Amino acid sequence: MMRTGAPRSRPGPPDRFGNAAAGGSVESRFMAEQLAQAWEHRAAEWIAWTRTAGHDVYFSELNWPSFTPLLPPPGRLTLDLGCGEGRVGRLLASAGHRVMGVDSSPTLARRAHEAGGYERVLHGSGTALPVRTGSADLIVAFMSLHDMDDPAAAISECARVLTPGGLLCAAIVHPLNRPAEHLTPYFAQHRLAEHVETNGLTMTFEAIDRPLDTYTRALEAAGFVIESLREPRPDEAAVRSEPRLAPAAQHPFFLHLRCRR
C-alpha cells in the first residue's frame, strides 16, 4: 500500500498512495519530531512532488475528482486546512470559492501565498486556528488530518470556526491503507515516515496511522454529523486511461467525509 502513488524502495505491494510496488516505510531522522516540524523539513520535496506536471496522478485522476462532489457551491469563506503549497486552494478559487489557507509549515504557507488563488494564507496550527469564530461556511481538510499531531483538537477548532450548519469536508489516507506492520495492533497509533521514489522524485510522507474512530469520535465530540463517508475507487475506464491507478481498484486508498456542524 502507499499514500499517494509512488513506488517504495523495496519490492512489495503498491504503496498507500497508489504507486507501483516497491519497499516499505523507513525510519526518518525527523521521526522524533512533531509532525508539523517534520512537514516543514519535507517542504521542498513536497513542492516538487505536487508541482511536477503529470506526477501525482493519484491526486489529479482519483482523489481530488472523487472528492469534489462532496463540496457545496462557493459560499462566504472556505478555509483550506493544512493547505500545503496550495494546489487545493488554487482549484477551489478557480471554482469560485473565496479561500483562506492555513498551514503549520512556514515554507509551504509562503509558497501557497506566492502562487496565488487565496485571499489570505496564514502560517498557523490547525489546533489553534488564527481565524474568527463562526467565520467560515466550509472547511476543506484535504489529506491533512492524518498528518497532524492532534487531529481531535483540529476538528474541535473546525467546529468553532464554522458557521452553524457549515461543512467540514475531509480526505484522509484510508485507515486500512497502512504498512502490514501497522495493521496489528490496529487500535494503536503508529508514527510513520514512508519513503517513496518515482520518476526521479522522492518524498517521505510523515504521518500517524490511527484507527478510524479516532476521527469519528472527535467529530462526534465536536458536534458534527457525518453526512457522507466514501471510499473512492477508479472505475475500469479510469484504470484503462491511467494504469497506475489499478491498485486503488482493489484496495481502499483514501477515505472522504462530509460533516455538518
Ligand X SMILES: C[S@@+](CC[C@H](N)C(=O)[O-])C[C@H]1O[C@@H](n2cnc3c(N)ncnc32)[C@H](O)[C@@H]1O
Q: Which residues contribute to the site for ligand X (CB under 6 A)?
A: 35-36, 39, 50, 82-84, 87-88, 102-105, 108, 125-127, 142-144, 147-148
Minimum gap (Å) between residue 99 Cβ and ligand X: 12
Q: Which is nearer to ligand X, 105 or 204 (CB)?
A: 105
Minimum gap (Å) between residue 142 Cβ and ligand X: 4
Q: Is 2 within 8 Å of 16 (Cβ atoms)?
A: yes
Q: Which is nearer to ligand X, 44 or 225 (CB)?
A: 44
Q: Which is nearer to ligand X, 11 or 65 (CB)?
A: 65
Minimum gap (Å) between residue 131 Cβ and ligand X: 12
Q: Which is nearer to ligand X, 139 or 164 (CB)?
A: 139
Q: Which is nearer to ligand X, 168 or 185 (CB)?
A: 168
Give the chain as a 3 state SS string: CECCCCCECCCCCCCECCCCCCCCCCCCCCCCCCHHHHHHHCHHHHHHHHHCCCCCHHHHHHHHHHHHHHCCCCCCCEEEECCCCCHHHHHHHHCCCCEEEEECCHHHHHHHHHHCCCCEEEECCHHHCCCCCCCEEEEEEECCHHHCCCHHHHHHHHHHHEEEEEEEEEEEECCCCCCHHHCCCCCCCEEEEEEEEECCEEEEEEEEECCHHHHHHHHHHCCCEEEEEECCCCCHHHHHHCHHHHHHHCCCCEEEEEEEC
Q: Is 58 within 8 Å of 5 (Cβ atoms)?
A: yes
Minimum gap (Å) between residue 103 Cβ and ligand X: 5
Minimum gap (Å) between residue 64 Cβ and ligand X: 8
Give the integer Cα–Cα distance in Å for 3 and 88. 17
Minimum gap (Å) between residue 33 Cβ and ligand X: 11
The closest residue (CB) to ligand X is: 84
Give the integer Cα–Cα distance in Å for 170 and 206. 18
Q: Which is nearer to ligand X, 42 or 164 (CB)?
A: 42
Q: Which is nearer to ligand X, 66 or 144 (CB)?
A: 144
Minimum gap (Å) between residue 184 Cβ and ligand X: 25
